[in-house]
Structure 1
Amino acid sequence: MSRAVLRTGMWLGFYAAILWAWWMMFSMSREMDLDWIGRPGPMGQAMAAMDPRMDMYMPMAEFGPLFWMWAIMMAAMMLPTLVPTLRSYDDLIHSANGTRAGWLGVLTGFGVVWVGFAALITGIQLVLLFGGVVDMLGIAKSGWVAGGLMIVVGAFQFSRVKEVCHGVCHAPMTYFLGHWKTGFTGGLRMGLGLGTFCVGCCWGFMVLGFVGGVMSLLWMGLATVFMVLEKLPQIGHRVTRPMGFLLIAGGVLLLAFPLSYGG
C-alpha cells in the first residue's frame, strides 16, 4: 500500500468517525423525542417528569448508558477540533521523523483524555440529577443555576489557565517541537498531553450543556463551531474574550429573569 493511499485512508476513517458520532447523537435525540434545542416532545416530557429515584429502568439515570452518550458526544464535538493538530503532525511526517503510527498515537491519546472527561462529567450529571439540580435530560431546573454557570464559564475565558491551555491548542506545532517523541508510544504521550490541555481549554463549553440541555443538537453544533474557531491560527485569539463577554451577559440576563428560563 502506498503512503498516499494510507494517508488518505486514515483521514477518511477519521472523518467517518466524526460523521458516525454525529449520526449517533441525532439518532438518540430522535429516539428520545427531542427537538433541536434538546426540549422534549410528548414522550420526552413524560421521561423528563419521571422521578429518577423511582424503581424503574431509566437509562439517563444510570452511569453506563449516560457515559456512553457523553463519550459519543465527546467524539462528535472534539474530534473536529483536532484537525489542525493532526495536520501539524502530518507536516512533521514529511519534514521530520513522524510516522503514521505516531499520528494514530496522537489521536488515541487525545481520545483517552476526553473519554476520561466523559466519565467525570457523567458522574457530575448524576449527582446533579439526584440532587434535583437538573432534570432527566440534563437541563438545569433553575435560571439561577443556568445563569451562574454561564457567568463562571464566561469569566474563565479571561483566566490565565484558559490563556495557557488555549495557547497550546492554538499552536500544536510548538507543542510537538517541545515534546517530540517518535512512534505510536511517543504519539500517544503527546496526544495525552494535548488532550489534557484541550480539556483545560474547553471544559466550560461541555458544562454549558446543563444550561441548554446535554442532548441539544443546537448547543452541540454551536459549541463545536466555536471551539474549532478558537483553534484556527488566523482568528483563534480573537474570539476567546468576546465569547467570554457574551456568556457573562447571557448569564446576567438569566439571573435577572430567572422565572423565564426553562419554561
Structure 2
Amino acid sequence: MPMPGGWSLSMAWTRMCGQSWLGAVASFVGMWIVMMTAMMLPSLTPALWRYRQAIGRAGVARLDLLTVLVSAGYFFVWIVLGMAVFALGAGLAALEMQLPALARAVPLASGMVVLVAGALQFSGWKARQLACCLRAPEHAGALRRSAGAAWRHGLRLGLHCGYCCAGLTAVLLVIGVMDLYVMAAITAAITAERLAPGGERVARFIGAVIVMAGAFLIVRAVGIG
C-alpha cells in the first residue's frame, strides 16, 4: 500500500477484506513460524545435536522425544515473539494510516533502526549473547532427563537465540518482512555468525554492512524529504 513519504506499507500488518483480527493474527503467526523455521533451522540443528550428544552420554532413553520437546520449546518462544511483533506492527500500521506526518517519518526512522541494529553487532552484549548460543549444553551428568527439563531447555535456547538475533530480526522487520531476498540475507547472516569460525568477527563484519545500509537509508530518506 503506497504511503506518504514514498514507501509502501506491507499488507502483513493489515487485515484482508472480511478477515477478523483473530484470523489476521493466525495468518501472520503461521507465516512467521514458517519463516523463522527456515531462518533458524541451520543454526538450531547443531545446538540440538549437541544436546542429543550430552544426554546420550548420560545414557538417557527417549532421545527423540526429548529432542522434539527442546525444539517445541524453542519455537514456542518464537511464536510468542511473532504475536508480539504482529501486535506492534499492526498498531504502528494503523497509526501510520491515520497520521500522514508519522507515515512521512517512517523512511528516516527505518534507516535509524537499521543503523542501530548494525551498531549493536559491535557491542559486548551481542558478543555475550552469541557466546550463549555457541555454548554446549551443561555437562551430561548435570542435565535433567525429564520432559519438563527438555521443554525448559528449549525455552532457554529460544530466548538466547531471540536476544542474539534481536538486531538482525529488527532489520528484517524494517526492511521487508515479506521480502524473500532480505529473508535469505538475514538467514545467511544468522547462520554465518553462529557457525563460521570466528563468529564474533563475522558478527562485526555483518554489523559494518548493516551500518552502511542504515546510513544509505537515512541519506535517501533525507534526500526524499
> TM-score scaled to structure 1, two decimals?
0.68
Per the TM alignment, residue 202 of structure 1 is displaced from its structure 2 partner at its CA by: 0.4
| 8 Å contact kept, 1:86–1:103 | yes
Aligned residues: 209
Question: Equivalents in 2 of 1:113, 1:72: separation in Å?
Answer: 14
Partner of 1:216: 179
Q: What is the aligned partner in structure 1 of residue 90 from structure 2?
A: 126
- SS of the aligned residue for 1:158 comes to coil
AA aligned to 1:65 is: S
Mark the CA change 1:210 to 1:191 in structure 2 (over 3 Å): closer, same or farther: closer
Please state whether the residue corresponding to 2:165 is helix, strand or coil.
helix
Q: Compared with structure 1, are the counterparts of its residues 148 and 47 closer, same or farther at alpha carbon in structure 2 (3 Å cutoff)?
A: closer
> Does the C-alpha gap of structure 1 residues 57 and 161 become closer, same or farther in structure 2, counting only changes over 3 Å?
farther
Match of 1:203 in 2: 166
- Code of the aligned partner of 1:160: G
Q: Distance in 1 between matches of 2:51 and 2:9?
A: 45
Distance in structure 2 (CA, Å) of the matches to 1:239 and 1:149: 21
1:249 is matched with which residue?
Answer: 212
Contact 2:72/2:154 (CA < 8 Å) preserved in 1? yes
Q: Separation in 1 of the partners of 2:127 and 2:20?
A: 38
The runs of 5 or more residues in structure 1 that have no matched partner are: 1-38, 41-45, 134-139
| Alignment partner, residue 187 of structure 1 | 150
Q: Residue in 2 aligned with 1:43?
A: none
Q: 1:70 aligns with which of 15, 18, 32?
A: 32
Structure 2 unmatched ranges of 5 or more: 3-7, 98-103
Contact 1:106 1:188 in 2 (8 A): yes
Distance 2:219 2:19 in 1: 34
CA RMSD of aligned residues (A): 3.3
In the TM superposition, residue 97 of structure 1 has moved relative to its aligned partner by 3.3
Over 3 Å counting, the alpha-carbon distance change for 1:253 and 1:48 in structure 2 is closer
Identity of aligned residues (%): 27
Matching residue of 1:92: 54
- Structure 1 counterpart of 2:191: 228
After TM superposition, give the deviation of residue 242 of structure 1 in Å.
1.2
Whether 1:57 and 2:21 are equivalent positions in the alignment is no
User: Contact (CA 8 Å) 2:114, 2:170: kept in 1 or not?
Assistant: no
1:170 equivalent to 2:131? Answer: no
How far apart, CA to CA, are the structure 1 residues paired with 2:69 and 2:144? Answer: 11
CA-CA distance at 1:223 after TM superposition: 0.8
Specify which structure has the bigger relative contact order, considering alpha-carbon pairs within 8 angstroms and separated by 6 or more residues. 2
Query: For residues 236 and 47 of structure 1, what CA distance do their matches in structure 2 show?
Result: 34
Task: Tell me: CA distance 1:195–1:254, structure 2 relative to 1, closer, same or farther (3 Å).
Answer: same
Q: Return the TM-score normalized by structure 2.
A: 0.79
**Mapped partners of 2:10, 2:68: distance in 1:** 40
